[in-house]
A and B are shown apart, each in its own frame.
Chain A
């Protein structure tokens, strides 16, 4: 099979229009005793129209928080989020609510994110009636169409979530997210709770829907192999900061940040002959607390190539261009 069909991946020239621009966004949560958890600590990036931008990192790195900031489900502590020319971080009340039609979220847990007392039809219809888009017969027809689009029987609309399997529930969550014809969907660990064979079904469905409805995805997951598969570009986070953003092929072929390299080396490949020959990049120690992140480069306490104390423990490396369309935040990216 050829590389991605052109309709899936528009050429990523410099002219590709950013749909979302995130600038210096910070999100701090109070953690008691006057301390703050620096969940997201000054990140800037853009999501381009029609692409899938992957966001990976380990637990506690701030990826879920960042996804919610993009969708404005959480207010930022500081910084700006633009959706095209509109600054979401300035919107309040009804204007923000109207803007939510453009951005929808699919959540991780298909068991917790669907109200068990509502029928599937009502769950999918809810956003449509909330925004008074349609009602009556037209609404019913739309719900059935959405069920069909996500590969479920359109006559299942009177059933309850408990009658469905995990994979089917995730399809329901997707149908709900599609209801308002959004332009951006934030998929927050949307397939992590599913079995392997079902994951593949949902990944394929998301790819089909993207092509059909010209969707843009921010795809958040901890599983780098799935993220690489579905994404055009991959963004790696560590302790509230973005450490690398690159084309998903580049990310694997030429990682420019030691953390990305370690992450890639840790994922087992389902091929015993190859797996035996792979070398694990060992990270020393544990992930530091986001309440008191390390000075300089936040990764320096675990980095295999850090030069200490200077510059790594003293100077924070900026996220800068290390190759064509390839950003990384490392003082020694040439040594990775």
Chain B
């Protein structure tokens, strides 16, 4: 992905949903893309397969799959690549499956569309795929209509469909958000196993830091249409460098917390992408901003080996210059004139 820019045309002007995003996905890896609503994570994923709905448009950049620019190939060719080389699963399996066709048939179709197998062979593979995604009684489940399956099973069926043509990349856009936690855990375990066993690269789009921690080896953090930080999960979770990543990690309650600590919320809200703030887009909510942040846009720079962040200050410097308790009590967004989060003594 090189300098990808995707915009949505509105009466008020273009909304820069994805603004100059570049990153690599390596064969067989599992990469997490995290961000809140409007950060551009889903639009990034949709742009890869040119699935941006009207009035959205990819206005610049390259999406290189091996050496081929997917933004340049013909409609015919991209249709061949979708599902065969790069498959995608979505948040809501209910609306991604056709309600009037049998589930198994829809998976057969995924193969037949790419002329990967004879109908007979396709059906056999469908049953074995349904077994692979741990659907019990796969043989008879293949004959069920989508409404006869539970939410978890529908998502498993979608994953089976995604895997039908043994793609090199599986893009999963919030695949577990609509599911109950116990089902979510099973689906994540399944995705992890498939990634290890089949070597399918997984690109996991999510707002849930816990999901990334469990499944991914690398993570990209997006804010307001841009990548703000990227690196190996262990490093990012242990020593985030961008104040947004740092703030986000502190704002989540943890199920394993042993005592009650006030959540450190990020006050204010994500910027309007019609008119993103000048300089660093996080500066209105950033507790560490310096004058430069208001005017100059920071670039992504390597801070530690493999870890890049776009920040003029970085958390390394914040940690060096502030005392630990000062840093602990700092409240992002307090400077923005919104209601500052008060600290319980």
Given A196-B251, A197-B251, A265-B185, are A270 and B263 neighbors across the interface (CB < 8 Å)?
no
Closest B-chain residue to A302, C-beta based? B182
Whether A5 and B344, one on each chain, are in contact in the complex, defined by CB atoms closer than 8 angstroms, is yes
Asked if B181 and A222 make an inter-chain contact with CB atoms under 8 angstroms apart, the answer reads yes
Count of chain A residues with Cβ under 8 Å from any Cβ of B?
52
- Closest Cβ of chain A to B149, distance in Å, is 10
Contact yes or no, B255 A225, CB < 8 A: yes
Complex CA distance for A201 and B270, rounded to whole angstroms: 13
Q: Cα distance A282–B182 when bound, in Å?
A: 8
Instruction: Say yes or no: B269 contacts A263, CB within 8 Å.
Output: no
Quick one: CB contact mask for B223-253 with A, threshold 8 Å, 1 for yes?
0000000000110011000000001110111
Interface centre among A222, A224, A268, A273 (most CB of B within 10 A): A268
Number of B residues, CB within 8 Å of A: 53
| Nearest-CB residue, chain A, relative to B255 | A225
- Enumerate chain A residues within 8 angstroms of B324, measured Cβ to Cβ: none
Interface residue from A249, A262, A271, A282 paired with B213 (Cβ < 8 Å): A271
Q: Is the CB of B211 within 8 A of A1?
A: no
- Taking the nearest CB of chain B, how far is it from the CB of A152, in angstroms? 8
Q: Please, how many angstroms separate the alpha-carbon atoms of A296 and B103 in the complex?
A: 34
Which of B207, B234, B254, B262 sits near A196, CB closer than 8 Å? B207
CB-defined contacts of B208 to chain A, threshold 8 Å: 196, 268
Tell whether, in the assembled complex, residue A249 and residue B233 are in contact, meaning their CB atoms are under 8 Å apart: no
- Judge whether A274 and B256 touch: CB under 8 Å: yes
Task: Point out the residue from A3, A269, A272 that lies within 8 Å of B256, measured CB to CB.
Answer: A269
Contact call A225/B265, Cβ cutoff below 8 A: no
**Residue from B37, B182, B251, B270 in contact with A263 in the complex, judged by beta carbons closer than 8 Å:** B182
Whether the pair B260, A3 counts as a contact (CB closer than 8 A) is: yes
- A244-302 contacts to B (CB < 8 Å): 249, 252-253, 262-276, 280, 282-283, 286-287
**Chain B residues in 8 Å Cβ range of A201:** 265-267, 341
Determine whether the beta carbon of A266 is less than 8 Å from that of B181: yes
Q: Which residues of B sit under 8 angstroms from A165, Cβ to Cβ?
A: 269
Whether the Cβ atoms of A58 and B182 lie closer than 8 Å is yes
Q: Are B233 and A225 within 8 A (Cβ)? A: no
A residues less than 8 Å from B247 (CB atoms): 197
On whether the beta carbons of A267 and B210 are closer than 8 Å, the reply is yes
Asked if A275 and B181 make an inter-chain contact with CB atoms under 8 angstroms apart, the answer reads no
Stretch among A90-98, A112-120, A202-210, A311-319 lining the B interface: A202-210
Partner of A197, one of B185, B237, B266: B266
Asked if A273 meets B234 with Cβ closer than 8 Å, knowing A195-B36, A208-B342, the reply is yes
B152 at the interface (CB under 8 A from A): yes
Query: Within A152-167, which residues are at the interface with B (CB < 8 Å)?
Result: 165, 167
Query: Is B257 an interface position by the 8 A CB rule?
Result: yes
Taking the closest CB of chain B, its distance from the CB of A268, in whole angstroms, is 3
Decide if B3 is an interface residue (CB 8 Å cutoff): no
Task: Type the 1/0 row for B110-149, where 1 means its CB is closer than 8 Å to any CB of A.
Answer: 0000000000000000000000000000000000000000
Contact, CB under 8 Å: A200 / B234: no
Asked whether, in the complex, the Cβ of B344 is within 8 Å of the Cβ of A270, the reply is no
Q: How far does the Cβ of B50 sit from chain A's closest Cβ, in whole Å?
A: 27
The reply to whether B234 and A197 form a contact with Cβ atoms under 8 Å apart is no
Contact of A268 among B188, B258, B262, B345 (CB under 8 A): B188
A282–B186 contact, CB under 8 A? yes
**Interface membership of chain B positions 253-282, coded 1 if the CB is closer than 8 angstroms to chain A and 0 otherwise:** 111111111111111011000000000000
B258 contact set on A, CB distance < 8 A: 249, 252-253
Evaluate contact between A252 and B150: CB separation under 8 angstroms.
Answer: no
The verdict on A151 contacting chain B, using a C-beta distance below 8 Å, is yes
Which residues does B use to contact A, with CB under 8 Å? 36-37, 150, 152-153, 180-182, 184-186, 188-189, 207-214, 233-234, 237-238, 247-249, 251-267, 269-270, 338-339, 341-342, 344-345
